[in-house]
Amino acid sequence: MGPGSHHLSLGLLLLLPLLPECLGAEGRLAHKLFRDLFANYTSALRPVADTDQALNVTLEVTLSQIIDMDERNQVLTLYLWIRQEWTDAYLRWDPDTYGGLDAIHIPSSLVWRPDIVLYNKADAQALASSSTNVVLRHDGAVCWDWPAITRSSCRVDVSAFLFDAQHCGLTFGSWTHGGHQLDVQPRGAAASLADFVENVEWRVLGMPARRRVLTYGCCSEPYPDVTFTLLLRRCAAAAYVCNLLLSCVLISLLAPLAFHLPADSGEKVSLGITVLLALTVFQLILAESMPPAESVPLIGKYYMATMTMVTFSTALTILIMNLHYCGPSARPVPAWARALLLGRLARGLCVRERGEPCGLSRPPESSPSPQPPDRGTGPPAGPCHEPRCLCHQEALLRHVATIANAFHSHRAAQRRHEDWKRLARVMDRFFLGISFSMALVMSLLVLVRAL
């Protein structure tokens, strides 16, 4: 260790006895200032020199965190830092008289505090603010900072749920002092968001401040207040899209496939009912998380539209199956249905028989009606002496004619049955395209809104 370090250590040892005196002098001055200020001071009266003069209070709010947004009960819970500044006419001193001491920190319960409260709070608990200190300056300026967890009522609009934006106001004002006694002014045009902790569900767009002066029915004097409007937009739409929206989209795209199932599978109606039950479950889950409101949310409208489409699809499937299972005793397909549905529509939808190329549907055939054998061209009636004459086989010819008529009748009935089955396939293909197009368009509209 050099000689310089030795002299430095010696100097510190000489200064140590003087430090308590310096600190003690400042503490004694602070105690003397406190006794002088509060000797005849009372915190029960408004600290103004003239009682006819209004006391100006500046209000500043800093948003720290969004704790909860309860859409069902319409309650917003926030963590705020609140600062109030005013001038106390009875708490002033000359800094030179007290060794240059220009500010002190004292408990807030010792000084007069404005009775500014949150008008639209949603609970009966008072804001815990009595444990914080105030900063008192030599010119009488009082600065009171205190944290608060507020629960305020907020009217939630769920008409655009999943992609909604909410406007929640927090109104601060004096509870007993009118505008002639206490005037509230916001500091700046908006609340501070410098220390805001980002929320996973909501994105804060801003928190503008607005001062109003209202007159209530109970009192004649005006009451000023300051309203901070919190502008929120839901940013957790991805979770809702995956859990509620995407599942409904996939189910709605599955519903039109009931028209593609073969009628002989026996699962066409079962598929439609299963899809309808799945959509009902999702609708109930959505209804539990939404508040009762006059407007139906967008995803609720999508669910209802999809359920309506599935219901009509199931009803059409039942009607088409009725056409498919028309027996041989059914009437022939009407002529207009043959020309329009089995002709043009079948060619347009490529509904064809096996081995038949697309676009060349089988032309409608008229069922041949069996004719009884013409007796005018047969052998003449009466006794015939020829041993090999056909007249001796008349009974056999009648039996052959009966068999031929039965064969033609059966073939005509089968043809009618095949025509009805073909008509059912054409209707299945037609409604498959319509249902799938409707489901795709509705899903794309909702997904585009989501993106």
- Cα separation of 290 and 70, whole Å? 10
Q: What pLDDT, in 10s, does the model give residues 253-305?
A: 888 888 888 877 778 888 888 888 988 888 888 777 776 666 777 778 888 88
- Cα separation of 348 and 363, whole Å? 14
Q: What pLDDT, in 10s, does the model give residues 137-174?
A: 999 999 999 999 999 999 888 877 777 889 999 999 99
Q: Judge contact between 305 and 168, C-beta under 8 A.
A: no
Element of type H or E holding 305: helix 298-324
Q: Which of 154, 157, 162, 151 is nearest to 202 (CA)?
A: 162
**pLDDT attached to residue 73:** 85
Token look-up 């086989």 returns 393
The beta-strand segments (E) located in 156-282 are: 165-174, 182-186, 202-206, 209-214, 223-234
Beta strands at 182-186 and 55-70: parallel, antiparallel or unpaired: parallel
Confidence of residue 112 (pLDDT cuts 50, 70, 90): very high
- Cα separation of 69 and 63, whole Å? 15
Q: Judge contact between 240 and 269, C-beta under 8 A.
A: no
Q: 204 has which bridge partners?
A: 232
Q: Token digits for 266?
A: 């026996």
- The predicted model gives 374-396 an average pLDDT of 55
Q: What pLDDT, in 10s, does the model give residues 51-72?
A: 888 999 999 999 999 999 988 8
Higher pLDDT among residues 327 and 256, named by residue: 256
- Cα separation of 46 and 115, whole Å? 11
Q: Token digits for 142?
A: 């009082």
For residue 267, what are the contacts with CB-CB under 8 A and spacing of at least 6?
261
Higher pLDDT among residues 81 and 298, named by residue: 81
Confidence of residue 392 (pLDDT cuts 50, 70, 90): low
Confidence of residue 410 (pLDDT cuts 50, 70, 90): low
Q: Judge contact between 59 and 172, C-beta under 8 A.
A: yes
pLDDT at 244 over 80: no
**pLDDT attached to residue 12:** 36
Confidence of residue 119 (pLDDT cuts 50, 70, 90): very high
CA distances from 313 to 36, 252, 269, 423, 433 (A): 88, 11, 9, 17, 12
